[in-house]
Structure 1
């Protein structure tokens, strides 16, 4: 019986899932939010029940100790030594890591070195790593990188058309993100297609953050996020692709400084910026249905940004066998899936089965037999990928 905990430490949060790896069942899962504040929220699900507690949690170390103490108190585990491995999600692995690795001092120093590329995430991942290492020193630790799946991109797809020295000297290039999700969903899609020798798949990971990836024969050949997760499609609060001269204009003519502009593009743009309503797709959809023109405009831009990348990747792949929807919007919004597929219908010959789209559950095909491209909904499971890699690398 080997238990593994998958951990996703954010700047002020700690998500976790504890697996029994013999049958890959989830024993418990939850999240600690608002770490560092007086009203931190600790949510844990176990045995079909959900406990929510509000209390002050000073830092990640305190959060990890609270989680582990709770596992003992609720008798979810009798002894912390039952947890044989800790798998850590790491957003930015740069060009160093094309696969998951056991964490040692060299790995720690590289994750730290890359913090300038993911300033909100990489330092938090290390904080989480140290906290678990101190609390359960006998458990092995593995890093699973969001960027690793995209290390199969070729230079023609990841080098920016700016002076080459910035790549050679400063590592400025496309890295992509959501790689663990894109890997899981594209692999599951190939299974559902009967494991063909050759496959051309576009994965649409649409949530508060969103990215699309072109996957050819199981390998990522291009992805919409770039040097950072600010690039690509329109997102909840992120702009996605914008003419870089807009930044100069806002600084010179409007009087913003660079930090204000980057904050605006990251935190105040996307669905929120255009609609003025919310960063949550459901709120924007509801406002649009009630006649809010800016909310409708936000939806129209969002859908067209998504189909633009699908069109781009259709060409890059030389056609497409399947399009997969995943993540918060992709998995849960039949409205978003239908609107996107309607925009693709004429060009790609897509036909949606409305019943499967609206009423179906879990992994499923939502296109009709007449559709020229298969369309799937596949809920992502990054935590399971993290746990599987941890088990494999630690030989558990």
Structure 2
């Protein structure tokens, strides 16, 4: 009675194997598309060894991972495979079993998440062919934000375009759902207050929560909007795009590549899209990229606090949010006007509770999208296969 969770990113694949609702193995493969490398794995002790990759795309990497898991006899009793799918559009909010009809509908959303959607769907198609009898489940990053007030989902565009589905969808929803559950476990009823979660990683966004439900988020129609990210620009005057196309000779493909691949921390610094590299660099462009990143986060937190009518708690999560004491300190310093007061010792030691006891509570909570995917998938799997052991 095993459940395999696959969480595909633009150049990564995180995975976790559950037996009877307990995780027994988890890991991460990076640099997909160039030189795939297993960089982290936890579980099964002495049986672990490296994985040999013969291809560098997501389907080839997932195939090598499954070969390795089979060699280790870890897939006996496999009853489900659950996937993170970034964009569910208007049609998909709850977990759904994947088949070729559903995949065809998800293909239409590829232009809205070109760094993630095609890669995840390629993995699904490979595994449908490999394990045709094993149910595969999709969990959607956009689903968490469907609770937002309608006014917060709209753009100021002609109504016909809104009705066609050009809306603010928001992303990182699986991360926000997990953080929301953790806050309830930690804080009880007070978790229902005015909370802002800062998901700061290679991709970055904010979510304003009230009563544990999404009220607003910094990402919009695509995963380009909002905060400055590793290689994505975040919010941008649309007139810049018109200027590039009308006066600089950019076509749509060149604009897409600029905004998704050549901007953000990488574009501003000219050095790296990794915050760790920039913090270690003394180059003024690296420091400028960090300053701009902090500025954008502070700006958007102010907007989220306005939407929520104040701030009771601020949560940092994801790679930068969990590991960069410098970025957390810089953001909190700029939020003193909201009553934010950071405990420097707690921050330096990456403690879970980061405030000094006054003002809004401050938290660092590691996210676990794989756990959220597993939790969200079990009910659907138990309904499909009664007696499977997936019942919660």
Summarize deviations over 1:6-57 as a string: whole Å, max 9, x none. Answer: 11234665432112233x223243327535x6x5445672435663345422
CA-to-aligned-CA distance 1:264-294 (integer Å, 9 cap, x gap): 121111111112221111111222xx2x322
Measure the CA separation in 2 of the matches of 1:270 and 1:64: 29
SS in 2 for 1:196: helix
Question: How far does the alpha carbon of each residue in 1:179-212 deviate from its partner, in whole angstroms, 9 at most, with x for none?
Answer: 1001111221232222337321100000111000
Q: Distance in 2 between matches of 1:283 and 1:299?
A: 11
Evaluate the alpha carbon distance shift between residue 314 and residue 207 of structure 1 in structure 2; reply closer, same or farther with a 3 A threshold.
Answer: same
Deviates more, 1:211-220 or 1:278-287: 278-287
Deviations 1:218-248 (A, max 9, x none): 1111100111111001111111111111112
Equivalent residue number for residue 339 of structure 1 = 330
CA distance in 2, matches of 1:253, 1:207: 34
Q: Which moved more, 1:8-17 or 1:315-324?
A: 8-17
Residue 215 of structure 1 and its aligned partner are, at CA, apart by 0.9
Quote the residue 2:360 is aligned against.
Answer: 373
CA displacement at 1:149 relative to structure 2: 0.2
Moved beyond 6 Å, runs of 4+: none
Asked whether the 8 Å contact 1:42–1:54 carries over to 2, the reply is no
Q: Which residues of 2 match residues 139-154 of structure 1 at below 5 A?
A: 139-154=134-149
Deviates more, 1:232-241 or 1:192-201: 192-201
CA contact (8 A) 1:214 1:220 kept: yes
Structure 1 residue runs without a partner (length 5+): none
2:29, 2:36 within 8 Å by CA — same for their partners in 1?
no
Match of 1:353 in 2: 343
Alignment match of 1:91 (pick from 86, 89, 92): 86
* Residue 302 of structure 1, aligned match among 293, 297, 304: 293
Check whether the contact 2:268–2:289 (CA below 8 A) recurs between aligned residues: yes
- Residue 281 of structure 1 is aligned with which of 265, 268, 275? 275
Distance 1:8 1:349, change over 3 A: same
Q: Which residue of 2 aligns with 1:30?
A: 28
Aligned mate of 2:170, from 165, 176, 183? 176
Are residues 1:388 and 2:358 paired?
A: no
1:11, 1:124 within 8 Å by CA — same for their partners in 2?
Answer: yes
The aligned counterpart of 1:138 is 133
Residue correspondence of structure 1 range 1-396 to structure 2 within 5 A: 2-10=1-9, 13-22=12-21, 24-31=22-29, 33-34=31-32, 39-42=35-38, 45=41, 46-48=43-45, 51-57=49-55, 60-75=58-73, 77=74, 80-169=75-164, 171-196=165-190, 198-287=192-281, 290=282, 292-345=283-336, 347-361=337-351, 364-369=352-357, 371-395=358-382, 396=390
Compute the RMSD of aligned alpha carbons. 2.2
Question: What secondary structure is seen at the aligned counterpart in 2 of 1:86?
Answer: strand
Distance change in 2, residues 1:10/1:324 (3 Å): closer
With the length of structure 1 as denominator, give the TM-score of the two structures. Answer: 0.89
Question: Is the Cα–Cα contact under 8 Å of residues 4 and 390 in structure 1 kept in the other structure?
Answer: no
Structure 1 CA distance for aligned equivalents of residues 254 and 72 of structure 2: 45
Q: Given the superposition, is the C-alpha separation of residues 286 and 244 from structure 1 closer, same or farther in structure 2, using an over 3 Å criterion?
A: same
Q: 1:136, CA displacement in angstroms?
A: 2.7
Partner of 2:109: helix, strand, or coil? helix
Say whether the 8 Å CA contact 1:189–1:324 is kept in structure 2.
Answer: no
Q: Is there any run of 5+ residues in structure 2 with no aligned partner, and where? A: 383-389
* Cα distance in structure 1, aligned partners of 2:287 and 2:122: 41
CA distance in 2, matches of 1:326, 1:151: 21
CA distance in 1, matches of 2:259, 2:295: 19
Q: Structure 1 residues 58 and 284, CA, compared in 2 at 3 Å: closer, same or farther? A: closer
* Alpha-carbon distance between aligned partners in 2 of 1:348 and 1:32, rounded to the nearest angstrom: 38
Aligned pair in 2 of structure 1 residues 59, 246: CA closer, same or farther (>3 Å)? closer
Distance 1:350 1:275, change over 3 A: same
2:89 match: secondary structure: coil
Q: Measure how far apart 1:103 and its partner are.
A: 2.5
TM-score, length basis structure 2: 0.90
